[in-house]
Amino acid sequence: MEDEIEKASHRTVEYASQFENSVIILEYLDSITDEDIGKYSNRRLGKWLFSRLQSRIEEKVAEHGIAVEYVYVYVHPHHTPKMCHAC
């Protein structure tokens, strides 16, 4: 999993660094474990993976001067558009 986290954080920072004054928006992880994969797994695995990914992104963007902001997201991801920010 650690390798996948490294790859994903690298791709995120690489993409954001293409733009001037870019900002990476991350979601607060308060309700990240809403899916039922088991109470124990929800606490141990779900939150750890996403918080680890966010931590690696924060560490990497600091080297590139890219800002990171956290927001609360109230829209269920299933109903969000599939287009990128530029579209």
User: Given the DSSP bridges, would you call strands 67-71 and 23-27 parallel, antiparallel or unpaired?
Assistant: parallel
| Sign of the torsion angle spanned by Cα atoms 13, 46, 69, 59 | negative
Q: What is the predicted pLDDT for the residue at 25? A: 87
Provide the residue ranges of all domains of the chain, joining segments of one domain with +: 2-79
Asked if pLDDT for residue 26 goes beyond 90, the answer is no
Q: What is the predicted pLDDT for the residue at 58? A: 92
Distance CA 87, CA 78 (A): 19
Q: What is the predicted pLDDT for the residue at 50? A: 82
Which pTM does this prediction carry?
A: 0.65
Tokens for 41? Answer: 């797994």
Tokens for 15? Answer: 């993409």
Query: With bands split at pLDDT 50, 70 and 90, how would you rate the model's confidence at 44?
Result: low
Distance CA 18, CA 22 (A): 8
